[in-house]
Amino acid sequence: MSGIAYELALANLSRSDGMAPPAVDKTPLLHRYHPDYQEGTRTRLTIGANRGDECPTRLATLLQSNAQITDADLAGAPVINTEVLVIGGGGAGSAAALTAAEQGRRVILATKLRLGDSNTVMAEGGIQAAVGEDDSLQRHFEDTLRAGHLCADRTLVARLAESGPDCIRWLINRGMLFDLAEGTPVGGKLLRKKPGGATCARILSYHDYTGLELMRVLREAVELDDRIALWNRCPLVELLSDESGQCVGAVLYNLDWHGFILVRASRVILATGGAGRLHLNDFPTSNHYGATADGLVLAYRMGARLRELDSFQYHPTGLAWPSHLVGGLISEAARSAGAWLINGEGNRFVDELQPRDVVAAAILKECAEGRGVERDGNLGVFLDTPGLERRHPGILGERLVSLGHLAHRCGIDPTTEPMMVRPTLHYQNGGVEIDEHGATAIPGLYCAGEITGGIHGRNRMMGNALLEIIAFGRRAGQHAGATASPKPAPKVGLYHLYDWQRQIILSGLPAEVCGPCLFPDYGNFDLRRDLVLRASAPGAVQAMVAGMTPS
């Protein structure tokens, strides 16, 4: 696949001034060029609640994998009791932990890396909420359903839309900053922008690093709440069950002390994020290092049903050049502000504010048909930042701060040179089936955030992810906190694994393939090898426990 040489494409760029984009026929475009529809990239599941459904091959391998541990690994491991265990230190997990703690519950928040190391901090564009006079909850509901190809759970979408205004108040009351409309005094109207696929302006933002600002206030709140015991660097390895199939806790692995910890909990909330670091279909990704579908794999193993397993979002504007930054995200805030997408011939080829799947497919079409821009062996199209700056002087420096930093890392001045972009694996549209409280079909197990399915259908709108993590993180935390018992289950173990391993054997799947993987392949992390280090520090795990027990 080749394109138009960079220097020639740059010379053609001025042709786009004043040009309107052509109309596109969405259905054939998606079916021919969007990665979700490509033949030979999916595998049919043969075990579990979604037996017979298809999903990307790499994800299918993990969903049908054997456990990383056995009962023998847990012998002598310390056991800690809590009422609510939240796993995941992004926005959804933090919102869930704070809300459960407000119910007076003892909460442990465990995260694979550190609190805030998540996709939340990379969400640049903003958060949706119907707060404008020309907007309504009904319009937000309808826009979300339409963008998701009418596949979403209508009850979940309704809860998402109706939660928007209250979620914004909840964040502002905790100190989150938002951009104000031009000429508005402090405390005035919030600046609203129009996201792709919406019928009116609904995005609220703080510059182009809204997720970072949101996570700032959540991190501060979690760290200052003495009802929450925060465990950094403690990834989830397996869920715990009782003889009736209820989720009664989890097995965590402490990366600093190289040992397992059993946490018995009345309620478990998984907020472990998505699967971007699996690099499905060999795409680069905008996701953080820990996004390896761990919670999805373990919820499925315990018996939870998944939905829209074959649907993933490829964000239209990932970096296509330079090579060492390929996949890095350029926020939709740039297109929302008016930046155009231009092919190597100097033409606009799609309405930049169409839904993300349509825009991504249109870019892939330009590249496949030879109209892309080629530079140093990399292929993409132009995001015309110089044209945006000409039409709106000062906008790059005032409103698109993160874009400027990213351009600097690329070695270019975005006011005079366009950025090269191409779709990057960005979001898991589907996930674990939940009800309006975040509860799964497994008693005691909740999910919130990107791990869940049903809210976005087969395509997510910009800004609905940040709203989802707050809306459903709070809902899961509230319900789990309200229904949790102060007494842990009397008998916990790996009971669900016995049936799972029988399924593996009967289906002929390789029993030696184990999951979750915890880190991407190039991280060179192997749990069994890491366990060897425990032998060099006898008593270390026991010494650790004293400082980790919630008060």
Task: Please list the active-site residues.
Answer: 315, 335
Distance separating alpha carbons of residues 517 and 279, to the nearest angstrom: 13
| The Cα angle at residue 181 between residues 179 and 187, in degrees rounded to 5 | 70
- Residue 413 near residue 286, CB atoms below 8 Å: no
Distance separating alpha carbons of residues 147 and 466, to the nearest angstrom: 16
157: alpha, beta or left? (left if phi > 0; alpha if psi -120 to 50): alpha
Distance separating alpha carbons of residues 494 and 74, to the nearest angstrom: 10
Continuous segment of H or E residues that includes residue 167: helix 154-173
Q: What is the DSSP letter of 303?
A: T
Distance separating alpha carbons of residues 484 and 491, to the nearest angstrom: 17
| DSSP string over 496-534 | HHHHHHHHHHHHT--TT-EE--SS-GGG---HHHHHGGG
Residue with tokens 């930042």: 385
Please give the structure tokens belonging to residue 214. Answer: 């949101």
Please give the structure tokens belonging to residue 189. Answer: 């109207």
For the beta carbon of residue 21, count every other beta carbon within 10 angstroms.
Answer: 17
Q: What are phi and psi of 69, to 5 degrees?
A: -130, 165
Q: What are phi and psi of 93, to 5 degrees?
A: -65, -40
